[in-house]
Amino acid sequence: MPNFNIDSTKKNSFDAIVIGSGMSGGWAAKEFTEKGLKTLVLERGREVSHVENYPTTNLMPWELKHANVVPEKIKKENPIAARCYNFKEDSQHFFTKDKEQPYIQEKRFDWIRGYQTGGKSLLWARQTQRLSDFDFEGPARDGFAVDWPIRYKDLAPWYSYVEKFVGISGEYDGLDVLPDGEFLKSMGLNATEEYFKKVIAEKYKNQRHVIYGRCAHITETKDIFIQQGRGMCQTRDLCRRGCPFGGYFSSNSSTLPWAAKTGNLTMKHDAVVHSIIYDDKKEKATGVRVIDGNTKETTEYFAPVIFVNASAFNTNMILLNSKSNRFPNGLGNDNGLLGKYIAFHNYRMNISAEFDGNLDKTTVGRRPTSGYIPRFRNVYKQETDFLRGYAAGFYANRIVEQETDAIGPDLMENLNTAEYGNWRVGSHMMGETIPKEESTLSLDTEKVDQYGIPQLRINLDYDENDEKMNLDYVEQLTEMFEVAGFKNIKANDSKKAPGLDIHEMGGVRMGHDPKTSLLNKWNQLHACKNVYVTDGACMTSTATQNPSLTYMALTARACDHAVKESKK
């Protein structure tokens, strides 16, 4: 029996373990395997192979049984997932259904999940912006949260490293609030977006900007993309189905196949991580305890370095559930802050209008991005009665006017003689929320899920700072729309609960001081240096940018550090 245990441990031992195969987990897999480490990737969901398991990717509209509308029965069974803008008939198979992982909402939070190979990298909106020093310095300057242990210069080379591999379509804007990156050619703004850009530039004199929305789409053929087996974006704008061309970045089309080519990758699907194993005598983590999603059997895997990339909330859950004599309240949780200071992005507000200019122009094709308005509030000084600020999307397209009252041949003729009306313009807000101690994740003491793991309790909500920011967004964007001559301006508060931004962050934040943070500047747990966290859980503050690019850059940087440390 002792020999059997030794053989079993040896069989289940690797150089590195990565928990999660999504945006950041895929990058950890790529970096470790490329550097020669035998790497185990644990994915709690099913296997989804690039192209092979994209069942709707090439279906025509008439081939979708319900015209891309999710049947009411499925919506009722999944009220949380169904509230997501991307939950449609052609993409619902990439969403985790509500009953698969129940959780407790002390206040309503719509937790959107994607448990499969690649995680939510199959479903993301593909917007990619770098954080700037205004973001990294924000907490120290404004006095909320704790100081980031890094600055832009620390991450800039890693942003470049990631961007060159991912493929980012963008324009060089020269903005200190939104640093430029390594860009492929732009798909361009349309005529009315360009008009709005010019008006805002003239009115606000280099204080506010409208730019092309940088996005993770390949718009030029380069050798690195050919090596990945990826082709150019076909501007189908059907990304939520999984892209058979690999035109947009996902773990499935890029980092995971790259890792597999090395021969150093082992992937386990339906592998639900219960906890991380800590050895009190060795004073380090030694492995991961995993429950088989089908058989419910428990297996332990071992490695000298462990990366936790399970997505922000699941990462918090795993660490909270990783209890030992040394860490009775969760791995690395000496200060009691694990699961606290959770934050997200506020997407509640939007504004729409019409524009009766540029009627000699329209749009062609399905460009998978839009315009973008970088943050302009409280950048160089505190100028409002709320902390931090917001960015905004901006789009414009012509209204198509069709007569649909007829039936049969008359209806077909009406549809074929559709006319263009005015331009429809709109914007949505992306506000930074403040991490607060009372915004928490915790494990329930009684309720467990189907694997016997304590259910997650979520307690966070909007606050007064968010409400003030909402009002300011409406006031400022209304003014900007009026300056541009837009008409029929309407602001809307969607009242959506936190969570539908799908940008949850924090709980295992980075910082200088082990008394006030969980991770150091290399994303290592202060109290357990061979465990790294590089997904959204590590974020000290949220900034206003879409965060996925930052997760990827932090992961590549942390992997480089982990490998160098192991060689010491």
- Residue 161 phi, psi dihedral angles, 5° rounding: -60, -45
How distant, in Å, are the alpha carbons of 15, 402, 429 from that of 11? 12, 65, 50
How far apart, in whole angstroms, are the C-alpha atoms of residue 193 and residue 272? 46
pLDDT of residue 400: 86
pLDDT of residue 502: 97
How far apart, in whole angstroms, are the C-alpha atoms of residue 319 and residue 303? 17
How far apart, in whole angstroms, are the C-alpha atoms of residue 388 and residue 383? 10
Q: Which residues contact residue 300 at a Cβ distance below 8 angstroms, ignoring those fewer than 6 apart?
A: 9, 12, 277, 287, 288, 289, 290
The two tokens of residue 485 are 């001559």
pLDDT of residue 7: 65
Residues of the chain scoring pLDDT < 50: 1-4
Q: 89-127: per-residue pLDDT in tens?
A: 999 999 999 999 999 999 999 999 999 999 999 999 999
Strand partners for 373: 392
Cα 88–chain centre separation: 19
pLDDT of residue 261: 98
How far apart, in whole angstroms, are the C-alpha atoms of residue 386 and residue 378? 9
pLDDT of residue 129: 98
pLDDT of residue 165: 98
The candidate with the shortest Cα–Cα distance to 371, out of 480, 474, 469, is: 480
pLDDT of residue 6: 63
Q: What is the dihedral of CA 270, 500, 353, 401, to 10 degrees?
A: 40
How far apart, in whole angstroms, are the C-alpha atoms of residue 206 and residue 255? 38
Q: Which residues contact residue 99 at a Cβ distance below 8 angstroms, ignoring those fewer than 6 apart?
A: 77
pTM of the model: 0.97
- Which amino acid does the sequence have at 491? A
pLDDT of residue 365: 85
